[in-house]
Amino acid sequence: MRKYNRLDQIMDYLKIHNLVTVEELVIATEASPATIRRDLIKLDQQGVISRTHGGVTLNRFIPTQPTTLEKLHKSFTEKQLIADIAAQLIKAGDSIALDAGTTTLEIAKRITQMPIRVITSDLHIALFLSEFKQIEVTIIGGKIDDSSQSCIGEHGRSLLQQINPDISFISCNSWSLNKGVTAPTEDKALIKASFAEKADRVVLVADSSKYNCYSLFTSIPLNRFTDIITDNHLDEETLQLLKCQPFKLHIAN
């Protein structure tokens, strides 16, 4: 089994069980105790978990911005399914805004045959879509954030405040009903908020592994979104709470 798959298994198990032991993780992943202990050391160093005398628990606070490489294989199948639904919301002639992220990159891969206008902060998305003549691509410009290879700062925010896209797709590293979408840095939080400011339809694309996580800076309350697209791994209680909100909830299966 590839290592990131086993780490995903550990994370998923921790989301369901509040406090777990090494022995429980050995059974859940079919890995050796030594392997599980090495994985836990790595997750502890990343600040993802907290280790206590009774076992291991998930640390829901995300202190730093993960790099694009770190996120690339995380919940990859879920991101593809979410992108499938997101792409169905777009029609020929639309102007859309794509926030930086690996999920929004998957959306970009699904719209290459459509004559549309795309505004993005993500260098990877801009370079990828620039290969397709029927797509007009605008990158917001400004300072480059080295962890996500995307634009941040006042220059990009100013441009976003002047445009009126049909749909804006927002990705994130953390979201919850109480705290909304949050970000580890003020610059990232402000850029995301600007993406949501003037769009007719504001869509959050976020897999369930990021739910109930949070970072220091609040960006967008969940009631600002018209749609939220996530996967089918949320627990039933959370699903019922989200379904009672004013946004439309889409579950990717």
Which pLDDT tens digit goes with each residue over 136-175?
999 999 999 999 999 999 999 999 999 999 999 999 999 9
Q: How far apart are CA 77 and CA 117, in angstroms?
A: 27
Query: Which candidate, 166, 185, 187, 163, places its Cα nearest to that of 174?
Result: 185
How sure is the predictor about 2, in pLDDT bands with cuts at 50, 70 and 90? very low
Q: Is the pTM of this model over 0.75?
A: yes
Q: Where in the chain is the domain with CATH 3.40.50.1360?
A: 68-252
Fold held by 3-58: Arc Repressor Mutant, subunit A (1.10.10)
Mean pLDDT of 7-25: 84
Residue 181 structure tokens: 């979408």
Q: How far apart are CA 205 and CA 97, in angstroms?
A: 13
Q: How far apart are CA 149 and CA 131, in angstroms?
A: 19
pLDDT at residue number 53: 67
27, 51, 63, 124, 240 from 44: Cα distances, Å: 20, 7, 13, 30, 32
Q: Which of 40-54, 72-86, 93-107 has the highest mean pLDDT?
A: 93-107
Q: How far apart are CA 21 and CA 11, in angstroms?
A: 13
Q: In the CATH scheme, what architecture does the domain 68-252 have?
A: 3-Layer(aba) Sandwich (3.40)
Query: Which candidate, 58, 64, 48, 47, places its Cα nearest to that of 20?
Result: 58
Q: Where in the chain is the domain with CATH 1.10.10.10?
A: 3-58
Read off the pLDDT of residues 167-202 as tens digits, 9 standing for 90 and up: 999 999 999 999 999 999 999 999 999 999 999 999
